[in-house]
Structure 1
């Protein structure tokens, strides 16, 4: 009984309390009442494609809509061939044909929320990797109508996680608050990903952990992630994302700091 109480207290402090705090923070802001009222226009974050002749790959994310926006981001992939006059955007969505191509402007707001660039690759490396990214997108196993489940997946973040796992040369880490990124088929799954040197284990996407060079150390509970980032020192706080420890240290000493994800 004492062990059960300790486990309950651990889950309450590490996962539930931050999630409730995120929900309270989210409720203080102004958000569209429905997708019809939301702003889906370009944010201006990316340069006009004709102004940049180099090939490019972007992994992007923005807070999603409704109450789930307090807990998770929506992520997508953008590519641009060398000399191309347009971007190619790929999302997985929950209506119609799940994997959408150019359903929205490349850097569009998502439910009125501004996007961020999680990872950018440009030049010759992007040119080399674009065919691999497109092949991974085409091979996504949940790309048919009906192949979408908002939680625990497969959802939009499961799609991007699939591409990043298939093309580890991208060197991208998904935001820790990208709910659905740890989805795996079946009830119990254990996988070693040599490309990212990570071990992933999950019970239906509801409970699990990750450990390795890319993941750091993570615990997963009902889609929430808590842990530490090793390569880019930071704390992974459920619902909030990753807080850079270097940024905290710089702020404490009077320097400039950033908050990741």
Structure 2
């Protein structure tokens, strides 16, 4: 038992300390008002891609928060639409924001990655369900955002994914808030809808699913193993091993 506890502490705090060392050695990020928000070319150009598109993105959070967390967001484009609609949950003013424009911009200087993508008929079938799920999201009002343990941007994406079974997204291990639940004890589907998890209000929990693998949730961070696409999931460092294709 003592060995197991020591191993767990090392696996939990070791990666966090390593990621913090990387952050401390990096050049300071620009003030958020001057941060790079340019596009990175991950979103299909609506002028060329006429099919419907659904994408979910993640990028490291701003400054020291990026050691522990990512910000995630969702973008959709209907068939023949000339613009994307982007949904973000942020920590000031009204939590849920809807915007028009390109979805693949850097998040306060940090480069995004695509967590999920669907195009064509599959995306077109999802879009009405996504809009309905966004409309009934219960934590989108002013003052509804809570950085830890949630509800936050990652709680939003997880909630929408649970409402739309085709959104089989694997949220990053450092997506603090993805396991948030309003009750002290909740049994619910994993965000990918491929398994089940127990959540103690987002502070701790356990989950298993074919997309997520086996996960232990501690204070918003994840320790886990993905057996189908061999990888380990560690606090701070994220997923190490084979990457999971984001394309449906």
For normalisation by structure 1, the TM-score amounts to 0.87
- Is residue 2:233 matched to residue 1:236? yes
Structure 1: distance between partners of 2:145 and 2:191:
27
Tell me if the contact between 2:229 and 2:244 (Cα under 8 Å) persists in the aligned partners: no
Structure 1: distance between partners of 2:124 and 2:30:
41
- Is residue 2:140 matched to residue 1:138? no
Inter-CA distance 91–118: structure 2 relative to 1 (3 Å threshold) = same
Partner of residue 165 from structure 1, selected from 152, 162, 165:
162
Deviation beyond 6 Å, 4+ runs, structure 1: none
Deviation at 1:16, TM superposition (A): 0.9
- Is residue 2:105 matched to residue 1:108? yes
- Is residue 2:42 matched to residue 1:45? yes
Q: May I ask how many residue pairs the two structures share in their alignment? A: 246
Structure 1: distance between partners of 2:191 and 2:104:
31
String of CA shifts for 1:118-146, please: whole Å, max 9, x gaps: 11100011111100011111111101111
Tell me if the contact between 2:83 and 2:102 (Cα under 8 Å) persists in the aligned partners: no
For 1:127, the equivalent position in structure 2 comes to 124
- Is residue 2:67 matched to residue 1:70? yes
Structure 2: distance between partners of 1:43 and 1:83:
22
Tell me if the contact between 1:196 and 1:213 (Cα under 8 Å) persists in the aligned partners: no
Structure 2: distance between partners of 1:30 and 1:259:
30
Inter-CA distance 160–115: structure 2 relative to 1 (3 Å threshold) = same
Structure 1 portions without partners, runs of 5+: 246-257
Partner of residue 27 from structure 1, selected from 8, 12, 24:
24
Q: Which has the larger radius of gyration?
A: 1
Cα RMSD (Å) of the superposition?
A: 2.1
Structure 2: distance between partners of 1:260 and 1:40:
25
For 2:222, the equivalent position in structure 1 comes to 225
Please state whether the residue corresponding to 2:47 is helix, strand or coil.
helix
Structure 2 portions without partners, runs of 5+: none
For 2:57, the equivalent position in structure 1 comes to 60
Please state whether the residue corresponding to 1:49 is helix, strand or coil.
coil
For normalisation by structure 2, the TM-score amounts to 0.91
Deviation at 1:50, TM superposition (A): 1.3
| Stretch of structure 1 that moved more, 140-149 or 172-181 | 172-181
Deviation at 1:195, TM superposition (A): 7.3
Structure 2: distance between partners of 1:81 and 1:194:
23
Structure 1: distance between partners of 2:52 and 2:244:
28
